[in-house]
């Protein structure tokens, strides 16, 4: 019985933590993460959407259609922790950053997308 209560408490704690993380992410709407579209004058792009535990990120790179953005981020508490993250615009609302489906096993960084959007290039270093 004590084990059942302990497991229930742990599951409830995990569920509340996940819910809090999802609610902490701002509601970003529209193209370019809701920011002003770039013009001819260079401006700093305010990118403050880091996944928990990650500190340093690469420049964000958008797909040509503007519906996905990729960036790499590092967690200094773990060796070889640089991963590539993706955020997607679905129904004009941006998703929180998630590790890209192809990322996670190596030290990966500095994503770049070809002009036609067919290729994503990035640095790869085995640990």
> How many beta carbons lie within 10 A of that of residue 63, not counting itself?
16
Distance CA 64, CA 36 (A): 16
- pLDDT tens digit string along 25-60? 788 888 888 888 888 998 887 777 888 888 788 889
Whole-prediction pTM: 0.74
**Spatial CB neighbours of 122, under 8 Å, sequence gap ≥ 6:** 72, 84, 108, 109, 110, 111, 112
Which distant-in-sequence residues (6+ apart) come within 8 Å of 46 by Cβ?
35
**Which tens digit of pLDDT belongs to each residue from 4-33?**
665 655 555 544 444 444 457 788 888 888
**If you ran DSSP here, which 8-state letter would residue 93 be given?**
E
């Amino acid at each position: 019985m004590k084990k059942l209560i302990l497991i229930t408490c742990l599951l409830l704690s995990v569920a509340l933590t996940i819910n809090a993380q999802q609610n902490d992410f701002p509601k970003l709407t529209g193209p370019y993460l809701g920011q002003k579209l770039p013009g001819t004058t260079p401006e700093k792009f305010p990118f403050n959407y880091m996944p928990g535990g990650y500190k340093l990120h690469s420049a964000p790179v958008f797909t040509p259609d503007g519906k996905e953005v990729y960036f790499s981020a590092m967690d200094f508490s773990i060796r070889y922790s640089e991963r590539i993250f993706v955020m997607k615009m679905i129904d004009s609302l941006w998703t929180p950053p998630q590790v890209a489906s192809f990322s996670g096993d190596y030290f990966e960084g500095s994503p770049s997308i070809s002009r036609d959007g067919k290729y994503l290039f990035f640095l790869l270093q085995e640990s």
